Chain A
Amino acid sequence: MSTAIKETQKLIEEVLDAYPEKAKKDRAKHLAANDPSGQCSTCQVKSNIKSRPGVMTVRGCAYAGAKGVVWGPVKDQITISHGPIGCGQYSWWARRNYYNGQTGIDTFGTMHITTDFQEKDIVYGGDKNLHAALHELKELFPLAKSMGILSECPVGLIGDDIEAVSKKAAKELGIPIVPVRCEGFRGVSQSLGHHIANDTIRDYILGKGKLEKTTPYDVALIGDYNIGGDAWASRKMLEEMGLRVIAQWTGDASINEMGIAHKAKLNLIHCYRSMNYICRHMEETYGIPWVEFNFFGPTKIYQSLRKIASYFDDRIKENAEKMIEKYKPVMDAVVEQYKPRLEGKKVMLYVGGLRPRHTIGAYEDLGMEVVASGYEFGHNDDYKRTYPEMKEGAVIMDDATLYELEEFTRRLRPDMVGSGIKEKYSYHKMGVPFRQMHSWDYSGPYHGFDGFPVFARDMDMTVNSPTWDLIRRKR
């Protein structure tokens, strides 16, 4: 075992010391020193396991994964938060899944629609009101293409039969009604919600859309939620390559696109964690291959363009090379401008499904080093993909707590931290430059050739803002 690994292990042990015995034993399994080779047996973290009560996990719930992540962005579906008022309120237009359309008329993405459960619904059940609500919504929003019922905790606890209501209402209203059993107490994090949402796409929507003709270049862009326009920046590149993006899931997605992805020749998956399930299903059922790719930062973009092109004929391969040739000078100019300002800076990441590994290359393009990274709701396969991307001895964290993030920050002294809104302001108080890496801190896109310049600008303004120097008064 190398010194780097040993040192990090010692650091982790020190951090763990503050926990009570039981929690300490558990948390020890989720923190590790990185071994890129995968040889060291103690360097693998355990993941996708229940959070300990009381430790202040950053995680959310299945509803957040199903409504907030997967179904919420589908623009021409009415997504109903079924249950009490809060869940829909707190997740209302919080993820910036951009879309085109006229909100409230033919699209509904920025709306908060809820059955607002009252005590009587808990006592007598909410099915009757839900059925009536579906009818009311269809009257008020005649252009809705579908309705999704996203269950909150009580729905599952009181034994409501939303599947039966959906079936009945779908027949009456002539549009798909999708019951999603994503009650927040199910599973251990957002992750199960992704899976449940994938299954409902499979069962209620996939295979039912209209597509007049197909071409050998048809692809589906999967697991890009168009945060700050990411999917649009990615789509632009795929189209420039000569591919035809027949479906974009689920950022700016229409129900029709959700229904025709099975006609693609290849599924391109960006967020593996949240949508690998449906790709596997399409592979098994329709024989569609899928490929993971990474459009963060020029190095990974070039690799990904070539990887995607390898599935197609020479024309596409040539196009990919032409694009690299065309955009390389633009990317080089970005690096030339920002690298001198960011070179050698240390980054700590703690994010969601793909960014803890996918953004590493983009940071490295700017000369920065990711010294710690972790996932709120990653699984073993995510970590397996992460280890080789990071240096030996880097800290790997699974389901980190507020306490751990603070302690690791103190000890590793990163020059910037990329995490979520719940972490953001404690880092501001600590005087540690911080960037939200879920929502791009209201910026973006970060994907693709159009996204990297924005990424570079944002990391520079984060690390090099003069405001950090004001905290400690110079005397």
Chain B
Amino acid sequence: MANLKDLRNRIASVQSTQKITKAMKMVAASKLRRAQEAAEAARPYAERMENVLASLASSMVGQVGGPKLLAGSGSDKRHLVVVATSERGLCGGFNTNIVKAARARINHLIAEDKDVKIVTIGKKGAASLRRDFGTRMARHFDMSHVKHLGFADAGPVTDYLLSAFEAEEFDICTLFYAKFQSALTQIVTVQQLIPASYDADNVTDLGGAAYDYEPDENEILDQLLPRNVGVQLFRALLENAASEQGSRMTAMDSATRNAGDMIDSLRTTYNRTRQAVITNELIEIISGAEAL
């Protein structure tokens, strides 16, 4: 039978764990709100940019020799997979889900005999991908110094991607991140960054008129496409930040509840044991008295 003192210690330790998970949940909830606001605030820019890109791209359709960032390099042999995860753990299935999706994709590409290189943002995903694809890791970006994600924080990654594409180190670049839907659901999303993907339905309706381009289409595309990579990346990182906090909040909430359940059942055992001990002592006394 469990010792009373041991049970008391267990209860105390589960209680302090519960306090910690509860605090983490509160912190995640407040960070989530901020991350969500940031993600929403960034939406107009990305949307407008997509519109302009879609208008331009659809006017370029059918033309030969468009910019490579839009038309592609003409091959699909070498893939660059960018996996964005968090810098901290204890956020439920957040990192696992992203890594799982990325891993499935990478294995699929390898099976198709493609060249795959991996770039990671955030150390959680990097650690588990390095185990499986150690030789394919091209670069890792550390985001642990970033407190509030700003556009400039996406800069180094964008610069790296663009210069690697310029140097023809890869043909296609896809990005893995988790899109924030609610604190309960985050959707792992795969987005093709290079060549640029766009939704042709987004074209602004000009009511028959056509855009004038200043200086001209190509000049604008040349400037817009690299920026678009940066903006899409930045948006993905913002979504990821919100998802991470949402996932952590949910995970910590259920941890807190679990701890509560555990405390209840430990209490029951404790009380039962205490009763048993008392009963035992009584029996001993009574049988001792009867023996006299």
Q: Do A and B come from one complex?
A: no
